[in-house]
Structure 1
């Protein structure tokens, strides 16, 4: 099989046993350094993506993928909006809602978001029924003035099933003694646990018509949408709003939780940059091994130059040899990263069993274990970074080899 001369010589240098064992050791250290960096980076990116996905999924179990809200006034014809949404194949479910801020009072006080829902439609946009720890979502019936509290919210209020809580709203109403805030007593008929602190501590659910009576409100705040593809949430909500009469505000889950997801994305990016330094260390080791190899092969370089190999050809010889070291390290790192990611949960269980400890106890962390989500884009980026660093690490040693003068190199041979 035909091979260019620089490639053939580079491959031969890679396979040959070197006279200087220390050079071979440095080359092996370069391979292991690059492989370790790629393994750690792939695994870390998978774990951070897993945590992002877990947090996003838990939050979206109660938050809508997208919402359509009437601009400044209640949405009157919300049933028509549901009909329009139901005809869109991109929409998995739709439900009306009313949302307002209020102060809940039990044995203690705690501000919370109070959301009025239609229980028969709520299952289309959330997993409320599956997250109930006590009671049922069906207890929210018109005129019952029942309320469902998040687990943390109930704890902060100091209430339990069957207890009463008083809802104090910021809206005022006229009375013989002047303006008074709206106040209504509700009965705790259920407690849910979403597994997300903001939801469990800051959300209370009541029947929609009950909240309409308390607020003296004719329509609803808006319509919540659940989609088959959450990444198209804004596009779908905008299309729905354009089919409705009047003016509407459209938002999606990326806008409503922008601070959280931007911070998670930034954390992942910074962690990736820091862990790339491990690959960089392997690349510096590769530079050292190549410089020592060039010094060791001075006589060979001189002979090759005498036989007609150009300085560019000499560069190619050592670039091929160094790049192959980087490729081997990258491939080993890919295999190690994929294997470690797939078995990370088993390794964690083994460490807990061996030392008799619980690394992520359920009573402290909302997310237990190490969720992983190995994304092809992260893996490809890691491999490209490793290969580029390896290639760049070969440039200086190869350039130094190309500057070798045959007469001086052979003077003392």
Structure 2
């Protein structure tokens, strides 16, 4: 080990003493900055990761829609299936209905799915908490969890479904009775909005409710692992260029482009703002090392008199900044990842103290706090922290390197 590196370690961690105060404060400052960056970027990336999972799990990797109704979904799916990278397709129809149970009304979104094909694209079965997807038929319905609670509906019970066709019938002086549907399942995705305002029926039932005939509103598509959704969407659009229903394929990222951009912008802004915590900690490192230079002026003079070169003396103080950066970064990573591991318990404790659990779910739309640490984010945090801490030692190193041995030894 070079002598200047050994000396740097001895100055930061003297033998036979308690943990030095200035060293502890410097490492703690860097650690807190790193921990905040790990937590903030992990939570923001968690929101993005969770939203992507929910989008893909409810809409597929790519979605095809027309300017109006898709009149021949079977032929369309056959053409899509021939596109390289496409694994499976499933048609859907969607809209809004009125549900009533025990005179409690609700106006959820409704989606009709092909029960024979939906599992190949959208894993609905794993989100059904009570009941079974296998029991879904043309006279039954699956409710989202919060919607079922608000209506007081239970498995095996019935709800009355009012279709928009009621208005059309009334215009023609006709009467259309509400449709009675049996509750055969309750699902929960984990997103507050989806879990409070969504119902699922069979595709045939949806076509009957909305008077669509054999038409659908769109087709969801699942891609092979590793296939880029945007590239696949472009291929599908080329294959469907002359389709009579004027259909267009869009990837999950394109459909939610604006929202994902805002999410990415927020994440980058938070990173930019919190990096200043490490910068402030770096100033404390600089201040501590400058004090060390002043206190050890005579020792620096002795080193120069013994033949130490200015760059070696400078390296001693730069190494101290590097060591503080490494130690602070390691402590910050441990602290940050520990917080992320116990995040739900911490958030529940905070929410119970402030009585804000329902408010968090209402506005942030998640029943639990998501977290996902991307490798690129962690590497960026580590490099930024170590580099800033090392740069913090440059000014003290420059000051120490400029000291003349004779003047330093003369110092009192």
Query: Considering the TM-score relative to the shorter chain, is it more than 0.5?
Result: yes
Structure 1 position 153 matched with structure 2 position 147: yes
Q: Judge conservation of contact 1:112–1:203 (CA < 8 Å) in 2.
A: yes
2:248 and 2:105 map into 1 onto residues whose CA distance is: 32
Contact 2:113/2:203 (<8 A) preserved? yes
2:71 partner SS: coil
Change in Cα spacing, 1:331 to 1:95, as seen in structure 2 (3 Å) is: same
Change beyond 3 A, Cα 1:155–1:231: farther
Q: How does 1:12-161 map to 2 (within 5 A)?
A: 12-15=7-10, 24-43=20-39, 45-50=41-46, 52-58=48-54, 60-70=56-66, 72-87=67-82, 90-106=85-101, 107-133=103-129, 135-141=131-137, 144-157=138-151, 159-160=153-154, 161=157
Q: Distance in 2 between matches of 1:139 and 1:374?
A: 39
Which residue of the other structure, out of 215, 225, 228, is the alignment partner of 2:221? 225
Contact 1:59 1:199 in 2 (8 A): no
Q: More displaced, 90-99 or 207-216?
A: 207-216
Give a deviation string over 1:307-366, Cα, whole Å, max 9, x none: 77665554344223322332333344445555x368648x959x98xxx99x9989x968
Give the Cα–Cα distance (whole angstroms) in 2 for the partners of residues 317 and 110 of structure 1. 71
**What residue number does 2:284 align with?**
285
In 1: Cα distance, 2:175 partner to 2:29 partner: 67
For 1:369 and 1:197, how far apart are their aligned partners in 2?
10
Query: Taking structure 1 as reference, are residues 87 and 407 closer, same or farther at Cα in structure 2, changes over 3 Å only?
Result: same
Which range moves more in the overlay, 257-266 or 393-402?
Answer: 257-266
Indicate the larger mover: 195-204 or 366-375: 366-375
Question: Structure 1 residues 265, 360: CA separation in 2 closer, same or farther (over 3 Å shift)?
Answer: farther
The aligned residue for residue 209 of structure 1 is 204
2:383 match: 384
| 2:408 paired residue number | 409
> Mapping of 1:307-326 within 5 angstroms?
314-326=313-325
The SS at the match of 2:92 is strand
Does structure 2 conserve the Cα–Cα contact (< 8 Å) formed by 1:168 and 1:184?
A: no
Change in Cα spacing, 1:200 to 1:348, as seen in structure 2 (3 Å) is closer
Equivalences for 1:257-336 in 2 at 5 Å?
257-258=256-257, 261-262=260-261, 264-273=263-272, 275-302=274-301, 314-334=313-333
Structure 1: runs of 5+ lacking an equivalent: none
What is the SS of the residue equivalent to 1:126?
A: coil
Given that 2:311 and 2:401 are in contact with CA atoms closer than 8 Å, whether structure 1 keeps it comes out as yes
How far is the alpha carbon of 1:120 from its aligned partner? Answer: 0.8
Shift of 1:208: 1.9
State the aligned residue count: 395
Q: Secondary structure at the match of 1:251?
A: strand
Q: TM-score, structure 2 length as denominator? A: 0.76
217, 226, 232: which is aligned to 1:236?
232
Two-structure CA RMSD over aligned residues (Å): 4.2
TM-superposed CA distance for 1:158, in Å, is 5.4
The farther-off stretch of 385-394 and 256-265 is 256-265
CA deviations 1:172-201 (Å, max 9, x no partner) are 479545xx9998524243342223222222
How many Å apart are 1:393 and its aligned residue? 1.0
* Residues 1:305 and 1:124: Cα distance change in structure 2 (over 3 Å): same
- Whether contact under 8 Å (1:66, 1:252) holds in the other structure is yes
Contact 1:68 1:249 in 2 (8 A): yes
| Contact residue 297 and residue 411 of structure 2 kept, 8 A | no
The CA deviation string for residues 129-182 of structure 1, in whole angstroms up to 9 with x for no partner, is 3433555434544xx4543332333444555522322122598479545xx999
Cα-to-partner distance string for 1:353-410 (whole Å, 9 max, x where unaligned)? xxx99x9989x96866765433322221110121121022112222322443555434
Give per-residue Cα distances to partners, 1:207-227, cap 9 Å, x unaligned: 223333432444221210123
The answer (yes or no) to whether the contact 1:283–1:390 under 8 Å persists in 2 is yes
5+ residue gaps, structure 2: none
Deviation digits for residues 11-42 of structure 1 (CA, Å, limit 9, x no counterpart): 324325769x8994312432343234434543
Question: Equivalences for 1:239-254 in 2 at 5 Å?
Answer: 239-244=235-240, 245-246=242-243, 247-254=246-253
